[in-house]
Amino acid sequence: MADQPLINLEGVRKVFFTDEVETHALDHIQLEIQPGEYIAIAGPSGCGKSTMLSILGLLDTPTEGRYWLNARPVEDLSLSERARVRNREIGFIFQSFNLIGDLTVFENVELPLTYRGMRATERRQRTTEALERVGMAHRAKHLPSQLSGGQQQRVAVARAVVGQPLILLADEPTGNLDSKNGEMVMDLLAELHKGGATICMVTHDPRYAAHATRAVHLFDGRIVEESVESTV
C-alpha cells in the first residue's frame, strides 16, 4: 500500500444542535484509508455511520477536526469546488438506488459525465464499459421501473464507477435488497475491489462487513474497535 493515505480524518467531531439539544454524532474520529483498501464502517443504527460517510463524501462538514482527501485539506474548498470533487473523485452508491425514473439505464449512468462537459463519444464509450462491467449492458435502453431491485443497484454501481473516482462510498448498498440480490451486489463490490477500486462501505450487518478487508466499528459516535476481516 502507498505511504500516503487517500483519506485522513484527524480529530473529527460532528455535533447537531436542535432546540437547545446537542447531539454528538461523531466524537474524535481518527481514520486513515489507503488507496486500494476495502473498508467497512460497521455498527448499530444511530451510531454515526451515515454521518461519517456524509463527511467523507463532502455532503456535510465536521464541527471540529481535519479532513484530507488525496493529501489535500477539504475544509477550505468552496461550494463549487466541493461539487467538482464529488463529481470527479467520489462515487456514491446509495441504499435507495437514486436512479432517475424517466431516464434510461444508459442515460442514468451517463449523467455524471454529462455534468463534466465530456465529449459525447467519450461519454458513450465510458458508459458502455461501466454497464458491461456490472453485467447490465443488455438493459441499457430499459427504464429503472423495468428492472428488479438487484438490477437497479447494479446500474447504480455502474453510475458510481463510470467517472473513475478515487473512492467509492457505499451507504448500506444492500439495505433494500433480499439476501440473494444483496450477496450479488457484495460480490460485485468485491470484483471492483480486486480490480483496484478503493471502497468505503457503511453497513449494520456483520455478514456484509466481513466482505471488506478492514472493518471499523462505531458505537455512540466513537471508533471502539478495528478488525482485519478475512475476505469471503
The model's pLDDT over 17-45, given as tens digits with 9 standing for 90+, comes to 888 788 889 999 999 999 999 999 999 88
Higher-pLDDT residue of 134 and 230 is: 134
- Asked if residue 20 belongs to a domain, the reply is no
- Asked if residue 92 belongs to a domain, the reply is yes
Range of the domain at 43: 35-60+78-228
Q: What number of residues does the chain have?
A: 232
pLDDT at 1 over 70: no
Other C-beta atoms closer than 10 Å to the C-beta of 31 total 19
Q: How many domains does the chain have?
A: 1
Confidence band (pLDDT; 50, 70, 90) for 127? very high
Contacts of 112 (CB under 8 A, 6+ apart): 87, 159, 162, 163
Residue 185: alpha-carbon gap to chain centroid: 13
Which pLDDT belongs to residue 187?
92
Alpha helical stretches, state H, 40-178:
49-56, 79-89, 105-116, 120-133, 149-161
User: CATH no. for residue 95?
Assistant: 3.40.50.300
- Asked if residue 156 belongs to a domain, the reply is yes
pTM over 0.75: yes
- Asked if residue 116 belongs to a domain, the reply is yes
Which pLDDT belongs to residue 227?
83
Give the pLDDT confidence of 174-188 residue by residue, as tens digits. Answer: 988 998 999 999 999
- Asked if residue 117 belongs to a domain, the reply is yes
Which pLDDT belongs to residue 232?
46
Residue with cell 439476501: 179
Report, as an integer, the average pLDDT of 109-125: 94
- Asked if residue 23 belongs to a domain, the reply is no
Give the pLDDT confidence of 217-232 residue by residue, as tens digits. Answer: 999 999 999 888 655 4
- Asked if residue 90 belongs to a domain, the reply is yes
- Asked if residue 18 belongs to a domain, the reply is no
